[in-house]
Structure 1
């Protein structure tokens, strides 16, 4: 395939591995684990894979490994570094036994069910080292949750003599991996299932997972774009830029970009929820900052808005929760109605308080909240133009204040949504190394006979040699949550910790950044040069590990 000069040179980069993964490896088991919540129910749902110990890798003795075929799936949205996970997996299984083979299932979990696959060879893998995207085999969002799907998958696994399957994905995809591991273990099918933590949203992390891969590269990519906008903003001095950032269930991306770029406003959804703020409270907050800057001759600024904000406004969150249940139960009869009939149907079936909230929303936002859910039962928040909604409401507030003599400036806006721009970037050195180590760890979990585990790499703010690799039982991360109207086991999402160092660092500076123009321009990701420029982690990760 055609490559740019950067890609050609970048393909020669040799990812750095932790010391424990550089040669012969042994798995050392720790204490048994429990799920984060709902222990008895989770244990009853996963009797064969519950309570397994955490595993860490250490240098070991040379061991003979029998030949094995391995399958790999890329699941969910793209994240920089996915190709390096597959590269690390490929290199390690070939190092363990040159007869080992790797098969990729095409376009996500659906490829397993529909028996669409390709063998990944050394010739193929060479074209994808240190590249962004998931295009080596493609990705998809098919959920693996039915016995029919498991059995269809088993047919092709048996046909290809695949004994281990690696699922690279986010919280929902890794929950599917846990369910699949339990099913194949319970039925004695002899198929190992290993997960790898992926999501640019940054919400797949806990005591064992320090960060999900792709977060580093994506936030650095967005921060470059925001820095460019800030420089333009400070040059022209005539626009307020409203920037919506990807991150449907948490504000980690917005917060990291704020720490890197110092915008005038960054809304953190988790704080909105904790303060029980209304939509009008948020509008008043932004309008107040706009008015204050205008009073000092600054009719410009930058506002960062997390994609999932609308769900965290408590009144709207309660509305969405009831809408989810309503659409899950009555979706078939609802979807055949026209727009006006759908609105009437919703108002007739909602509780009084939620119906009142629904009626007060702008028509287009209410309509977007009532559209078909994604495969996991979630509102498709990327389609909700929260940035435009807020800027319109701020403009209306400022017009009122102008009539009252409280605002004498100008308010002109530009809108941006940064999502796809960061999902397939060439991975940073951190993500290139981290992902390669995750792939290597997944291979070692397979070699050590593990199933139902997620590959992990820890101590990631230290030099790469000092990173610690291993595996964590996926069941230890599960809790029960309502999805599509039913309680289901899912991996608990990590939201922004309002008492954590990253948010507290932002909180210490936000009043200054709101009043003054303190913009920082991070510039593009650097791939070649001194380590202090090229190998730095996110500010979030650095603060969390101080």
Structure 2
């Protein structure tokens, strides 16, 4: 192993205090016994893609869904797992770092040791390069001691390489077989979890006994579905960036200036449209004697501007997965220059009579990546791998109001205790996340139908059941069709 990885490190007083925090576990994962109920086979949210995915992943698609149950829930078919044989698990950091990654390692280590003290957790040093080269570090209590509840990926390091080419996949397969791994845990975002899915299929085809699991650790918040409500790191990034942005808002209000910053939003406009929209907003606010404002831009905004995207692809060296290195594109400075030119033009024409436009640019792409994870992300990351050994539009609707009024508040620094420490992100709170609860309710209704409609029931009951089921089937066929205009999640 490299001497720089996994060694105890010097910590600040706050970091030392954070290492003492013990993440909270949900009731279903508390104790040494785990109760699991296996449900129906899963499918895709987009019904039209089910056939294609089943063809691409014939060995791993449609696995039954595992329900982890509270200790007192009575389910006749539930399996109670009290101990497991000793297993060997490898773990690798992929992609860019996100707060909470170290707690994933900690949670997996504790879960393995809880079920069998002879189990071994190996961390691959240097990300995927370490995976291919079989460079490992055994994760122990001593190694974890100064990394609990800490930011960054410096316990093991990471690389940007994907597990995509035939050579890379074969190297990963060879490493897992040589190290006799029962499981491989890949920590990363959308691309890394896609690689994990493909790797799992390849391992199954090769009769490799190593089971591959992907853990959603990304600050982008774009890796979620009916079963994954949020990704590890998103809570921290929202809270840290909220403070950074609110500080900028306070400064803008005090000094009367427009600040162009990089943050999360969504846009499909052309470069001209974006420039005009910003200029119109500045002019409208100036008419109300508001000569200040903050414009938040997503890092990926440049990908939605067709007239310059192709040029940027040629000018910049791509990432290993052929995507553009968006953090190298100073979109905020480009727009600031275009807006300044347009505002000067309007001032000369007499259509704008406010103060001279002056922009100050900020980039928030890296400030929160190495942050100490929030209480939520500490808990979420720690428990995300506790289950592994067992189963080897708010802003859009109020856009006009936000545009013209100074609506913001300063939440202050990220809190680990007291007021604000348990607050959740808006996306996690406003969305209806009880997906599995509704699935359970549907199963209860279907079971009631089976009990009532049996051979020997009356003609009236049978006719009513057939009519109702035919109507439900027709409705579901329509809304699950690719042409249906509804949303898929």
TM-score (norm 1): 0.72
- Between the aligned partners of 2:134 and 2:88, the Cα distance in structure 1 is 16
Question: Helix, strand or coil for the counterpart of 2:164?
Answer: coil
- Counterpart of 1:48 in structure 2 is 59
Deviation string, structure 1 residues 265-315 (Cα, Å, up to 9, x no partner) = xxx42xx32xxx3221211111111112223332211110001112224x4
**Matched ranges for 1:46-445 at <5 A:** 46-58=57-69, 59=71, 61=80, 63-237=82-256, 239-245=257-263, 254=264, 268-269=265-266, 272-273=267-268, 277-313=269-305, 315-316=306-307, 320=309, 323=310, 366-367=311-312, 370-408=315-353, 409-445=355-391
Q: Distance in 2 between matches of 1:56 and 1:424?
A: 33
Higher relative contact order (CA 8 A, sep 6+): 1
1:523 lines up with 2:412 in the alignment: yes
Contact 2:99 2:369 in 1 (8 A): yes
Structure 2 counterpart SS, 1:38: helix
Which deviations, in whole Å up to 9, do the C-alpha atoms of 1:145-203 show, x marking residues without a partner? 24433333333333333211111111111111111111111121211111111111111
Q: Is the CA contact (8 Å cut-off) linking 1:196 and 1:442 kept in structure 2?
A: no
Counterpart for residue 398 of structure 2: 509
Contact 2:81 2:390 in 1 (8 A): no
Contact 2:177 2:208 in 1 (8 A): no
Relative to structure 1, is the Cα distance of residues 14 and 241 closer, same or farther in structure 2, using a 3 angstrom cutoff? Answer: same
Give matches, 1:1-16, under 5 Å.
1-16=9-24
The alpha carbon displacement at 1:370 in A equals 3.8
CA RMSD in angstroms comes to 1.8
Preserved contact between residue 344 and residue 356 of structure 2 (Cα < 8 Å)? no
Give the strand-richer structure, 1 or 2.
Answer: 1
Offset from partner CA, 1:428-484 (integer Å, 9 cap, x none): 1110111111021223322xxxxxxxxxxxxxxxxxxxxxxxxxxxxxxxxxxxxxx
CA distance in 1, matches of 2:284, 2:118: 68
**Aligned in 2, Cα 1:38/1:367: closer, same or farther, shift over 3 Å?**
closer
Indicate if the aligned counterparts of 1:73 and 1:109 stay in contact, CA closer than 8 A: yes
What's 1:540 paired with?
427
Structure 2 SS opposite 1:30: strand
Q: In the aligned structure 2, how far is the partner of 1:19 from the partner of 1:70? A: 25
Q: Please, which runs of 5 or more residues in structure 1 have no aligned partner?
A: 246-253, 255-267, 324-365, 447-502
* SS of residue matched to 1:65: coil
Q: CA deviation at 1:211?
A: 0.8
CA distance in 1, matches of 2:188, 2:418: 31
Contact 1:243 1:417 in 2 (8 A): yes
Q: 1:54 to 1:384 in 2, by over 3 A?
A: same
> Structure 1's 514 and 146: CA in aligned 2 closer, same or farther, altered over 3 A?
closer
User: Mean Cα displacement is larger for which, 435-444 or 118-127?
Assistant: 435-444
Which structure 2 segments of 5+ residues have no match? 1-8, 72-78, 434-489
Any conservation in 2 of the 1:368–1:384 contact (CA below 8 Å)?
no
Counterparts in 2 of 1:368 and 1:398: CA distance versus 1, 3 Å: farther
Q: Contact 2:242 / 2:411 at 8 angstroms: preserved in 1?
A: yes
Mapped to 2, the partners of 1:142 and 1:158 lie a distance apart of 21
Matched-pair contact (CA < 8 Å) for 2:215–2:384: yes
Residues 203 and 306 (structure 1 numbering): CA distance in 2 closer, same or farther, change over 3 Å?
same
Q: Cα gap change, 1:280/1:29 in structure 2, threshold over 3 Å: closer, same or farther?
A: same
Q: Are residues 510 and 149 of structure 1, via their aligned partners in 2, closer, same or farther at CA, if it must alter by over 3 Å?
A: closer
Q: Can you list the C-alpha shifts for 1:332-390, whole angstroms capped at 9, x where unaligned?
A: xxxxxxxxxxxxxxxxxxxxxxxxxxxxxxxxxx3565423211121222221111111
Aligned partners of 1:299 and 1:410 also within 8 Å: no
Q: Separation in 1 of the partners of 2:54 and 2:401?
A: 49
**Deviation for aligned residue 1:41:** 3.1
Report the Cα distance in structure 1 between the residues aligned to 2:127 and 2:185, rounded to whole angstroms. 12
Q: Distance in 2 between matches of 1:289 and 1:139?
A: 42
In our comparison, the structure showing a higher alpha carbon Rg is 2
Deviation, structure 1 residue 392: 1.1
Aligned mates of 1:144, 1:2 — CA distance in 2: 33
Q: What is the total number of aligned residue pairs between the two structures? A: 413
18, 22, 26: which one aligns with 2:35: 26
Instruction: Specify the SS of the correspondent of 1:432.
Output: helix
